[in-house]
Amino acid sequence: MLKRKEFITAFKESVDKDNFVRLTLSRNVDKTSSLRKAIIKIVVIKKKLHFCIVHRHATNDITKNFGITDGFNIIDDLMENTFLNAALFNTEKDLFYELNNRKERLYENKATFTEIPPRTHDKQKPKLIVNTSYLVQLGILDDKGRVQKDKGAKYKQIKKFVEVIESLLKKNPSLGKDQTINIFDMGSGKGYLTFALYDYLTNNAQIDVKMCGVEARPELVQFCNEVAKKDNFKNLSFQEGFISNFTLPNIDMLIALHACDTATDDAIYKGIEAGAQLIICAPCCHKQIRKQLNATAPLDSITNFGILKERQAEMVTDTIRALLLEANGYKASVFEFISTEHTGKNVMIVGQKSPVSSAEKNDYLVRIKALKISFGIKTHYLETLLK
């Protein structure tokens, strides 16, 4: 393979001349492999040049740094055994190598880059999800680490959820500082988000955590406990039970994602009762309020249209939930935690414990009353629980 040798010589000369910008290897010989590309840059670590090699897989990047001699050997090997295409960028030219049906092609273009990039070592954004074994067991990834065909949206949701929790923990630095964080996930289902959060907190954020998923369906509880055991997630367990009659100890964080209809209210109530510092829920199926909606003019026009009535019911239900959290000593925020293209159930309500005066509490209750009157609502389920 003469042209490959020529390409590698040009690459080595470019490094020697210090006009090297980047080398990209692509078109894996093994089409079933999750490894899509290798991107090579030069960085200075402890005053010495290193190759920074990013192995770009379908779902994640793996970055490693190598001394120059080792790096050359690894790159030689990647070109010989793994990738069919290579592109070298330096400040003199762009040089391309392609191997097709054992036929080599080497050609060059005008240089894309006129300056070499800074050789400083970029701090990589830390990966939030470290362990992937449970994602395979849960059917999100296949055994090669690729996202299963119909699981892309769920995988995005899992990653986004972990990001949200990461940022909430930054805003609540006292959590997990000296003591174990006690978390309950109400209506944990198949545990997608429970496992990812446990993995992030223990293996990435290195926070001591005790976590429990509560789920009504015994087969899911059994399945999740088996996955937790296989992954050696010692402080994660799942218990069978209904949210409404589950007795919680004092806890730090309560999660309820997509717990249907009033199960979200049961969960919020349990979180307040258990003194949780953080209550995080993503409600779904807002049936309880919809049945009662009977708005007075001019709001009645909204509730005359099916889909708008449905959305209005969601908004009123969740607004009252947020106000009730505020009235009960939580600063509430409501936001979309993932884009609507991934799931319709994307509104998240977060309550962060924060003292409330009796005057403020009264103000929240007055606002709730006014809202209920405007929409003809007799009872909001969470309100009845909190009375």
Ligand X SMILES: C[S@@+](CC[C@H](N)C(=O)[O-])C[C@H]1O[C@@H](n2cnc3c(N)ncnc32)[C@H](O)[C@@H]1O
By CB under 6 A, name the binding residues for ligand X. Answer: 187-189, 192-193, 214-217, 220, 242-244, 257-260, 263, 266
- d(CA 187, CA 217) in angstroms, rounded, equals 9
> Residue 127 or residue 217: which is nearer to ligand X going by CB?
217
> Residue 72 or residue 223: which is nearer to ligand X going by CB?
223
**Minimum CB–partner distance for residue 154 and ligand X (Å):** 8
**Minimum CB–partner distance for residue 189 and ligand X (Å):** 2
> Residue 79 or residue 165: which is nearer to ligand X going by CB?
165
- ∠35-7-102 over CA atoms, to 5°? 65
> Residue 56 or residue 154: which is nearer to ligand X going by CB?
154
8 A C-beta contact, residue 117 and residue 41: yes
Six-digit token string for 314? 């969601």
| Side chain identity, residue 65 | N
**Minimum CB–partner distance for residue 174 and ligand X (Å):** 26
**Minimum CB–partner distance for residue 267 and ligand X (Å):** 8
Beta-bridge mates of residue 59: none
**Minimum CB–partner distance for residue 118 and ligand X (Å):** 42
> Residue 196 or residue 324: which is nearer to ligand X going by CB?
196
**Minimum CB–partner distance for residue 291 and ligand X (Å):** 18
DSSP 270-316: HHHHTT-SEEEEEEE--HHHHTT--PPTTGGGGGGSHHHHHHHHHHH
- d(CA 356, CA 343) in angstroms, rounded, equals 34
282 phi and psi, to 5 degrees? -125, 95
> Residue 155 or residue 330: which is nearer to ligand X going by CB?
155
**Minimum CB–partner distance for residue 187 and ligand X (Å):** 3
98 phi and psi, to 5 degrees? -135, 140
> Residue 242 or residue 305: which is nearer to ligand X going by CB?
242
Question: Which is nearest to 286 in space by CA: 258, 306, 267?
Answer: 258
DSSP 256-273: EEEEETTHHHHHHHHHHH
- d(CA 102, CA 105) in angstroms, rounded, equals 10
The residue number whose beta carbon is nearest to ligand X equals 189
